[in-house]
Amino acid sequence: MRIHSASVFIFLLGGFIYLLASGGCTEESPTADADQTPPSVAITSPRATDVYGARIVDSVDIKVEAADAAGIAQVEIWALFHGEDEEQRVATLTSPDTSGYYTHHWRIEGIDNGTTGVLYAIAVDAAGNRAASEKLRVLIINQSEVGPPRPDFIITPNEGTVDTQFEFDASVTDDDVESPIDILVRWDFENDGIWDIDTTARMTAADKITRRYAVPDTYTIKLEAYNSYHSIPNDDPGTVTKQLVVKPAEGIPRPPEYHSFIRIDPGTFPFGAQSCTTGDGCFEGDEDEVLEQQLYVHVSNPFYIDACEVKNEWYVNYLNAARDSGWVAFDLASEEVRLRENGRVLLVINKIYTRVKCQLVDTTFWVDQSFENHPVTGVTHYGATAYAGFYGMRLPTEVEWELAARGQIVRAGDFYPWSLDTVIDGSYANFRNSGDPFEAGGVEGSTTPCSTYIGTPEHGFPTLPAISPMGTMDQAGNVLEWVRDWYSATTYPALLAEYLRNPLRPKPPIDPMGPETGTERVLRGGSYFQYPWELRVTNRFAAPPYKKGNWIGFRTAYTEF
């Protein structure tokens, strides 16, 4: 049978089209079940350790885990660094090591210290399928080029007074690699060899510190900074020091010559009590003075404190001088002596409150006869502060007042300045019903002159030496005394917690003061109006700064500058 030539042509053409559609008939053509699954791949070492990812210090073994059913043809390791447009091939590996990982020892010579980037791996299986690992952030560190941080800090303001709150900002600290938030710092605010904030506090250069200095002086502030990748040798710390001048709030002290001051040297002193037992015991909130164990505080500079309470005669001298200087004025209608600057009441010229008088004709101040040597009374906290400030002095802090009264006396219970003995009678101090010759009717009584209780008879009344270990008088009884601090019921326990922050090595708080602000100021020492148990060394009273009373006075202090 003969086939027509046109039919043959059509037949051959159909076969050719079929071969094209089926992909031909060579051995390299994939079949319907060819491998199209990418391999698995992951970088197992190094690992990310912080926000920077993995830190590569000089060199590292990069380990890649790659697997595929058809086998791995090769593993490529790539890096892309910050600021660069093209990736760099770090290595091409064709076989795993004995542990089954594809391992490459990467040395980072030639890469700038502190460079950041990403590292990733690509695995190619036997069928040609490719897969990439997750990108690992890396930080390059060349040990030969790194050192400690370059610490620096800013003090705001750059000088001030004891009333200034200073801010210390170390965020200007520089480092080759890390930012301030990663750099640990420690501070010594007095350069006394004691780190006020150590690295155990985990404080960084980004953390701002505020601090107030209770004592005028020129302070050297020391800062050390530590990064996480450099081991600082003992002779090469990242350290900087700066000086800060802290002046008295009232200027340079100019105490009147008739004041008699006791000098108290720097040191560590007991503060507070562990129990209260005398008389009726603790009452009306006095538990704020009682601690679980003995607290100690440290005074860093010598200071001076009045041996006696400020006398009527002294205060009258101030009022006349301040009037002549235009600082104070007397309001006849209210009988008040006020500061011209802000109108605050210093003293009310009224026989209920004070022995100070005012001659209305020429506004001359004077004192009731025979009361010149008695402590001034009826003075507000404003009046006490104004007096001290006029002479460049200040009121003592609560800590200074107490250590002047007790020295190094340590006692679990309550006590008085003159003895560890808790026994008290009218021979030692002026208190309610004490029997002193100045009592009026034996109830509320009156003040006694300075130096009454020194062991010699006063107006025929026998006395015993009731001078404190530091040499001060009348720190128990006579008049309550304003001190500088704002009142807080937690002053003692808060200081004890600071003292015992490291129980194995307690650290006495340095020059502590009360809160920054408040509504009441602290009064100390008891008065002729109080009962004997209220005269104990650690007892605390509080009153608004405008409070006045004929049983309230003060004494002054200053730091030599």
169-188 confidence digits (pLDDT tens): 999 998 877 889 989 999 99
Q: Is residue 65 predicted with pLDDT exceeding 80?
A: yes
The structural domains of the chain, with segments of one domain joined by +, span: 40-145, 154-247
Stronger pLDDT, 517 or 379, i.e. the higher one: 379
- Asked: is 154-247 a CATH 2.60.40.10 domain? The reply is yes
Contact (Cβ atoms closer than 8 angstroms) between residue 48 and residue 137: yes
Distance separating alpha carbons of residues 164 and 215, to the nearest angstrom: 11
Stronger pLDDT, 419 or 70, i.e. the higher one: 70
Structure tokens at 341: 């600057």
Percent above pLDDT 70 for the chain: 87
Q: Is residue 423 predicted with pLDDT exceeding 80?
A: no
- Asked: is 40-145 a CATH 2.60.40.10 domain? The reply is yes
Query: pLDDT digits over 186-244, tens only?
Result: 999 987 778 899 988 899 999 999 998 876 778 889 999 998 776 554 445 578 999 99
Q: What are phi and psi of 494, to 5 degrees?
A: -65, -40
Query: pLDDT digits over 333-388, tens only?
Result: 899 999 998 899 999 998 889 999 998 778 899 999 889 999 999 999 999 999 99
Q: Which of 136, 173, 146 is nearest to 228 (CA)?
A: 146
- Supply the DSSP string of 328-396, one letter for each residue: EEEETTTTEEEETTT--EEEE--TTT-SEEEETTTTEEEE-TT-TTSBP-SB-HHHHHHHHHHTT-BPP
Q: Is residue 287 predicted with pLDDT exceeding 80?
A: no
Cβ neighbours around 128 below 10 Å, total: 10
Q: Is residue 82 predicted with pLDDT exceeding 80?
A: yes
The pLDDT value recorded for residue 421 is 62
The pLDDT value recorded for residue 557 is 95
Q: Is residue 59 predicted with pLDDT exceeding 60?
A: yes
Edge-to-edge strands of the sheet including 40-45? 40-45, 59-67, 102-107
DSSP character at residue 39:
P
Categorize the per-residue pLDDT at 113 as very low, low, confident or very high, splitting at 50, 70 and 90: confident
The pLDDT value recorded for residue 31 is 52
As a whole number, mean pLDDT of residues 88-109 equals 93
The pLDDT value recorded for residue 269 is 95
pTM of the model: 0.61
Cβ neighbours around 228 below 10 Å, total: 15
Helices and strands, counts by H and E, the chain: 5, 30
The pLDDT value recorded for residue 1 is 41
The pLDDT value recorded for residue 74 is 95
Cis status of the peptide bond prior to 46, with omega within 30 of 0? yes
Angle 547-357-256 (CA atoms, 0-180°, nearest 5)? 80
The pLDDT value recorded for residue 548 is 94
CATH topology match: 40-145 vs 154-247: yes
The pLDDT value recorded for residue 438 is 86
Torsion-angle region of residue 343: left (phi > 0), alpha (psi -120 to 50) or beta? Answer: left
Structure tokens at 397: 């802090």
Q: Radius of gyration over alpha carbons of the chain, in Å?
A: 41
CA distances for 189 relative to 77, 168, 185, 206, angstroms: 51, 10, 13, 17
The pLDDT value recorded for residue 193 is 78
As a whole number, mean pLDDT of residues 122-130 equals 94
Q: Which of 559, 556, 478 is nearest to 310 (CA)?
A: 556
Candidate from 14-28, 422-436, 453-467, 531-545 with smallest mean pLDDT:
14-28
Distance separating alpha carbons of residues 487 and 335, to the nearest angstrom: 29
Which residues on neighbouring strands pair with residue 347, listed in sequence order? 337, 379
The pLDDT value recorded for residue 231 is 59
